[in-house]
Amino acid sequence: MSWAPDRPIGQAEPVSEQTTASAGALRLRPPAHRVSRRAIGYWTATAAIFWLLLIGLQTLIVVTADDAPSFLPVTLVISCVFGPLHLAVMPQWRYRVHRWEVTGEAVYTQSGWLKQQWRIAPISRIQTVDVERDPFEQLFGLAKITVTTASAAGPLRISGLAHTEALRLADELTKTTQATRGDAT
Amino acid sequence: MRPADALSSAEAASDTATVTTPAAEGTQDAPWHRLDRRMLLIRPVLDLLRSLPVLASALIVGHGEPWQWIGIGFTVIAVCTGISHVLTSRYRITESQVEWHTGLLLRKQRAIPRDRIRTVDVTSEPKHRLFSLAAVRIGTGRHSHGKGPGKDELVVDAVTGAEAQRLRTLLLHRKVESTTEEAAPPETLIAEVDRRWLRYAPFTLSGLAVVGATLGAVYHFAHELHFDPVRLAPVQSIVGQFEDTPTWTIVLSGAVGLLVLVSLLSVGGYVLSFWNFRLTREPEGTLHVRRGLITTRSVSIEEERLRGIEVREPLPLRLVGGARLVAVAGGLREGKGADKGGGLLLPPAPAKRVHEVVADVLGEDPTATPLVRHPRRALYRRISRALLSVAVLAAALYWLAWIDFLPAWPWQVAVVLLPVAVLVGWDRYRNLGHALVGRYLVTRTGSLDRDTAVVRCDGMTGVVVERSLFQRRAGLITVIAPVAAGKGHYRVLDIGESDGLALADAAQPGLLTPFLER
């Protein structure tokens, strides 16, 4: 590591002194796998239920109540505009963004929309592997995997995996984790 | 402060008492130990005091009403629970775990594997010091997310000072089977508090919190009782005396008075917290911190479990060349109030001394290496963020003034603060830096609260890379080092994308390599 000298403001600067000199800039490649295509349906369904409940509740109050708050019609219109928009864009976008990969040494996930996040955890540091399914996930034959390490920085989550795939993955991870000694802190 | 001569009474007892461990200790059928019976004298009184508000309000307000019995019943239950806790709690240390049983009606049993124990924290509060007792907190390496006496902590409250010392030695030094020591093991002194360090106390601004909390409490109390302190006769007369003096004199003298008060309180707080501060190393590889005037604390940290250190330099302290040193280790209480600073390795002290202690504790001083600066684009981000936050504040205050909710001066002050925001942003950029020194990753962030974290690379539980929309446009990323200790994660903020990935790759060799491309 070298001491990067100060440059006057406004002057263009290469990304790095050491790495760009020898070869091209380093980049993280996205993880190899996408989640199950059925996840798009699942995300759409859960979001649709949320929006329907929200819009339905507001409509109910506006129609039935005698002195409904004046802001309610406004929020109702906003919900009616943003709901379908969200339903049209979110699932597709999420499907593109959420990716995962498991190698013999590490678990690698990518997530995030405006703030992208890549998480890499070595298999040797994994503490628990959980497979969860809520009723809707069961309906769509999906499951989500949560991989925790000892750190409080947060677990790695892969949601929208096909159920069989999730079980196979959890099984594989548990086996490798058990083979590794130590308490993973 | 005279650190050398005055050990706390609890420790004096532990030093003189011969530590004789029964032969059965640490085996499958180890004997059970109970809490010190003298807690029966302390605990009920404390429980009574604690439920005094309930009791008093029930008796005074609810006189003759049926619900005064509820208040009394409440108090009786609290006291009885306390007594039963002291009577029924027992613990033992077997070969593999520490077992803890408590409760009469609601029985609880807990077992902590001994190889999970990372820290043993011995605290003697005033109530304990009455009988030379101490509370022992046994912490495991897991990062507890909850508050209070969490699942990952066992509190033995309380035993004699000698027993606390014995537990500490037994639980932390299990590798060395030297249970028949005649005296405390020889320790090497790394650092102890210096009377001259008191000059740093006012710059910690710890007194400000005390003043704020006191004012808040007084206001809240007055508000609850529907009484306005401003209308009180003595306050009225004082205010009356100042009626003729111009506003700026009042403001100035008020500020000076506040400054003096805060300084005095900070010095007092420093003395209370860091009296007799000693950082020592025991031969078995444990760091041992002892400190406190009224409440004495003694924290042990297994060096093997030390994941790094943090040098914290809040702006006022940094301006006068001071710094604090904090350990990054699992199992330390990172709570609030009195619990705060469980991992403290050095109270506010000269920066030079801090670096000496870092070198002593880690075997090298990674913070001495000049850090690699971050790209210029990070500067624009820092300045624009600082400016934006103040500008939003000013706009909000202006709006509040416009609807006649606030006078005009708050937004004017906010506008005056804009150049200050630029300065802070610039300083934040100037402080950004990272380095990879030996087996340590060093990262520095912050201006008003500058924090230089040194994290052992093999303590990282992976790598997290973050990039917001704005960072993406600037070609910057944030590399986060997750650690199972301290804050839980340490950030290398706004580093160039390629540099950041190279840094992460070097810190965790081989982990990132399959996922990188040029």
pLDDT greater than 50 at residue B430: yes
Name the minimum distance, in Å, from the CA of B52 to any CA of chain A: 39
Residue A27 forms part of a structural domain: no
Averaged over B89-97, what is the pLDDT? 86
Decide which of B6 and A59 is more confident: A59
Judged against a pLDDT cut of 70, whether residue B336 lies above it is answered with no
Residues of B in contact with A153 (CB under 8 A): 461, 464, 480, 482-483, 488-489
pLDDT value at B301 more than 50: yes
- DSSP-derived secondary structure for B251-286: HHHHHHHHHHHHHHHHHHHHHHHHTT-EEEEETTTE
**Predicted structure pTM score:** 0.75
Q: Are residue A127 and residue A154 in the same domain, yes or no?
A: yes
Residues A154 and A138 in one domain: yes
> What percent of chain B stands above pLDDT 70?
83
B420 confidence band (pLDDT: 50, 70, 90) = very high
Q: Using pLDDT thresholds of 50, 70 and 90, give the confidence band for residue B22.
A: very low
Closest chain B residue by Cα to residue A156: B464
Phi-psi region for residue B165, left (φ > 0), alpha (ψ -120 to 50) or beta?
Answer: alpha
Q: Do residues A103 and A165 both lie within one domain?
A: yes
Question: How close, in Å, is residue B483 to chain A by CA atoms?
Answer: 5
Distance of CA B476 to the CA centre of its chain: 32
pLDDT tens by residue, B97-135: 888 888 877 788 888 888 777 778 888 888 888 888 888
Taking CA–CA distances from A2, the nearest residue in chain B reads B372
- Please list the residues that pair with B444 across neighbouring strands: B433, B452
Which A residues, 3 through 22, put their C-beta within 8 Å of a C-beta on chain B? Answer: 3-4, 6-7, 9, 11, 13, 15-16, 18-20
H helix runs in A5-150, sequence order: 19-22, 38-64, 71-97, 135-139
Q: Is the predicted pLDDT of residue B8 greater than 70, yes or no? A: no
**Residue A89 covered by a domain:** yes
Distance from CA of A2 to the nearest CA of B (A): 6
Which of A106-110, B337-341, B420-424, B496-500 comes out lowest in average pLDDT? B337-341
* Predicted interface score ipTM higher than 0.90: no
Tokens of B124: 């003697």
Residues B332 and B346: their CA atoms lie apart, in Å, by 15
Q: CB A140: neighbour CB atoms within 10 A?
A: 20
State whether A26 and B480 contact (CB < 8 Å): no
Of A103, A122, A185, the CB nearest to B462: A122
- Residues B252/B232, Cβ–Cβ less than 8 Å: no
Q: Do B375 and A13 count as a contact with CB atoms less than 8 A apart?
A: yes
pLDDT in tens, B489-514: 899 999 999 999 999 999 999 899 99
Please tell me which residue of chain A has the smallest CA distance to B462. A121
* Domain co-membership, A107 together with A132: yes
Do residue B467 and residue A184 have CB atoms under 8 angstroms apart? no
CB nearest A23 (choices: B511, B514, B518): B518
Contact across the interface for A122 and B461, Cβ inside 8 Å: yes
Nearest chain B CA: its distance from A29 CA (Å): 6
Instruction: Pick the last residue of a domain from A52, A77, A96.
Output: A96
Candidates B465, B471, B423, B431; CA nearest to A15 is B471
pLDDT at B374 over 90: yes
- Per CB-CB distance under 8 Å, the chain B contacts of A29 are 515-517
The CATH code of the domain that includes A157 is 2.30.29.30
Closest partner residue to A16 among B330, B487, B498, by Cβ? B498
Residue B426: partners with Cβ closer than 8 Å, 6 or more residues away: B379, B382, B383
Question: What domain count does chain A have?
Answer: 2
Q: Is residue A14 part of a domain?
A: no
Q: What is the pLDDT of residue A21?
A: 41
- The CA dihedral of B241, B245, B247, B249, to the nearest 10 degrees, is -100
Range of the domain at A55: 33-96
Q: How far is B207 from chain A (nearest CA, A)?
A: 31
B-interface mutation test, from A110, A151, A177, A181, most B Cβ less than 10 A away: A151
Q: Rounded to the nearest 5°, which phi and psi values hold at B367? A: -75, -15
Mean pLDDT in residue range B475-482:
94
Query: Does A19 fall in a domain?
Result: no
Mark which of A53, A69, A96 sits at the end of a domain. Answer: A96
Residue extents of the structural domains in chain B: 196-274, 376-430
In a domain, A20, yes or no: no
At which of A57, A78, A96 does a domain end?
A96
d(CA B17, CA B293): 22
Residues of chain A found within 8 Å of residue B482, distances taken between Cβ atoms: 149, 151-154
A119 touching chain B per CB within 8 A:
yes
**Chain position carrying tokens 């300045």:** B383
Q: How far apart are CA A43 and CA A137, in angstroms?
A: 9
- Give buried/exposed letters for A51-72 (b at 16+ CB in 10 A, else e): beebeeebeeeeeeeeeeeeee
Residues linked to residue B120 through DSSP beta bridges, in sequence order = B138, B300
To the nearest whole Å, the CA of B251 is away from the closest chain A CA by 40
Q: Is residue A26 one of the residues assigned to a domain? A: no
Least confident of B138-142, B287-291, B331-335: B331-335
A48 interfaces chain B, CB cutoff of 8 Å: no
Residue B399, CA atoms < 13 Å, CB-side half-sphere:
6
Using the Cβ of A180 and the Cβ atoms of chain B, whether some distance falls under 8 Å is answered with no
- In terms of average pLDDT, the best of A126-130, B211-215, B282-286, B436-440 is B436-440
Same domain, A66 and A106: no
Over the stretch B57-85, which tens digit does the pLDDT of each residue have? 777 766 666 767 777 888 888 888 888 88
Residue B176's SS3 state is: coil
List CB contacts (< 8 A) between B375 and chain A.
13, 15
By C-alpha distance, the chain A residue nearest B499 is A16
Instruction: State the virtual CA torsion across B208, B213, B219, B222 in degrees, nearest 10.
Output: -140
Burial (0-12, 13-18, 19+ Cβ within 10 Å), B187: middle
- Chain-chain contact of B489 with A152 (C-beta, under 8 angstroms): yes
Residue A56: pLDDT over 90: yes
Structure tokens at B83: 């007594």
Measured distance CA(B98)–CA(B117) in Å, rounded:
9
Q: Of B192, B225, B178, nearest to B61 (Cα)?
A: B225
Flag whether pLDDT at B243 surpasses 80.
no
Query: Looking at the domain assignment, is residue A107 inside a domain?
Result: yes
Q: What is the pLDDT of residues B159-215, one digit of tens each?
A: 888 888 888 888 876 544 444 444 455 778 888 888 899 999 888 877 777 778 778
Q: A23 touching B, CB under 8 A?
A: yes
Q: Are A108 and A144 members of one domain?
A: yes
Mean pLDDT of chain B: 81
* Percent of chain A topping pLDDT 90: 50
Give which of B117, B457, B498, B516 to mutate to test A binding, by max A Cβ within 10 Å: B498
Helical (H) or strand (E) element with B43: helix B39-50
Q: Say whether both A75 and A112 belong to one domain.
A: no
